[in-house]
Amino acid sequence: MSDATKVGVLLATRGLVMRAQREGRPADAGIFLELAERAEAEELDSVWVGDSLVSKPRLEPVAALAAIAARTTRIGLGTAVMLPAIRHPAPLAHSLATVDVLSRGRLTIGAGVGGAFTAEQAQDWTAAGVEPATRASRLTETVQVMKRLWTEDDVSFAGRHFRLEGVTLYPKPVQPGGVPLLLAVHHRTGSEAQYRRAARYADGIIGITDGPDEFAEASRRVMMLAAEEGRDASAMERVFYMTVHIDDDPNAALAGADDFLIAYYGVRHWGDRWGPWGGAAEVAARMRAYADAGAQHLIVRFAAWDQRTQFERFVRDVLPLFRAG
């Protein structure tokens, strides 16, 4: 399947802020914009940015994507993943529709419930005035509200968290049906509710923590439930987000990934879920494993301080192997 699988890269909006903090200087978005342009020049399918408010500081994703939209013309833009529930759905829908207009219909939103398992993670929610325990139900309502605002006029909604009376939002997104929404699902750690939310409301799914077999099972579960909901499950996109470090020296690869990810998260929580940390052939083989498991679009994040070198090795050494696979 690898010849038909789309491939994108995550742009390290967190990494550039971490580097600025470490070096005691203002953040510089130059490498971020440079790699977005390089990704388009190399004919990759997409570029993506992450999201958090205060626990893992980075560029705000909607503003970052608007900047990329202005610097590119073809490449897809997305979030991997956004935490919509820390925002009110009406202004968020407005911002995302604006980016879709600016990019001429290139936007996709990967979204998830997010974590609140540590005091630092909980701050992402409390800093926005959101009770962390409500984040899943807020996400469900946010998706419902945004989809209606993008496709309907005079929208009224009465939920547990949000109420709207006769709201009409313009501009509408360029894409028919609104901005595509991918919802995160995790076979290894997720709940039944995540599957049903994705089956009812999502335009696709995005996996992050699972191995290939687990991703295949999560996809199968969502597709089955979507069919039960009367939806066309075959139209739902299946996306997987990988984290890798490319280096022919396995010890150097492990050390480089570990150094970056510990600085990123503050704790080693990824276990055996991410990787590989190794040479081009290993990375290409892992990508093929996810493609064979049903991923139609792969997002690759580089666990490294030197994002430029990782990107160049990826397009020069990994992609040809993956495409030839």
Q: Are 282 and 254 in contact (CB under 8 A)?
A: no
Tens digits of residue pLDDT in 71-116 = 999 999 999 999 999 999 999 999 999 999 999 999 999 999 999 9
Is residue 142's pLDDT more than 70?
yes
Q: Are 289 and 283 in contact (CB under 8 A)?
A: no
- Calculate helix-pair angle for 212-228, 280-292, nearest 10 degrees: 20
Q: How far apart are CA 203 and CA 157, in angstroms?
A: 21
Is residue 3's pLDDT more than 70?
no
pLDDT band at 57 (very low <50, low <70, confident <90, very high): very high
Amino acid 188: pLDDT: 83
Q: Are 135 and 114 in contact (CB under 8 A)?
A: yes
Is residue 2's pLDDT more than 70?
no
Q: Which amino acid is at 48?
A: W
Tens digits of residue pLDDT in 226-271 = 999 999 999 999 999 999 999 999 999 999 999 999 999 988 878 8
Amino acid 189: pLDDT: 80
Q: What are the strands, taking DSSP E only, across 58-106?
A: 76-82
Interval 151-156 mean pLDDT: 98
Is residue 20's pLDDT more than 60?
yes
CA distances from 94 to 36, 68, 98, 290, 292 (A): 24, 18, 6, 34, 37
Q: Which residue has the higher pLDDT, 1 or 187?
A: 187
Among residues 73, 61, 131, 148, the alpha carbon closest in space to that of 104 is found at 73
Among residues 171, 170, 229, the alpha carbon closest in space to that of 196 is found at 229
Q: How far apart are CA 261 and CA 322, in angstroms?
A: 25
Q: Are strands 46-49 and 6-10 parallel, antiparallel or unpaired?
A: parallel
Looking up tokens 């209606």 gives 148
Structure tokens at 45: 């399918």
Tens digits of residue pLDDT in 213-226 = 999 999 999 999 99
Domains of the chain (ranges, CATH numbers): 6-324 (3.20.20.30)
Tens digits of residue pLDDT in 160-203 = 999 999 999 999 999 999 999 999 999 988 789 999 999 999 99
Amino acid 1: pLDDT: 40
Q: Are 314 and 307 in contact (CB under 8 A)?
A: no
CB count within 10 Å of CB 217 equals 16
Q: How far apart are CA 114 and CA 132, in angstroms?
A: 9
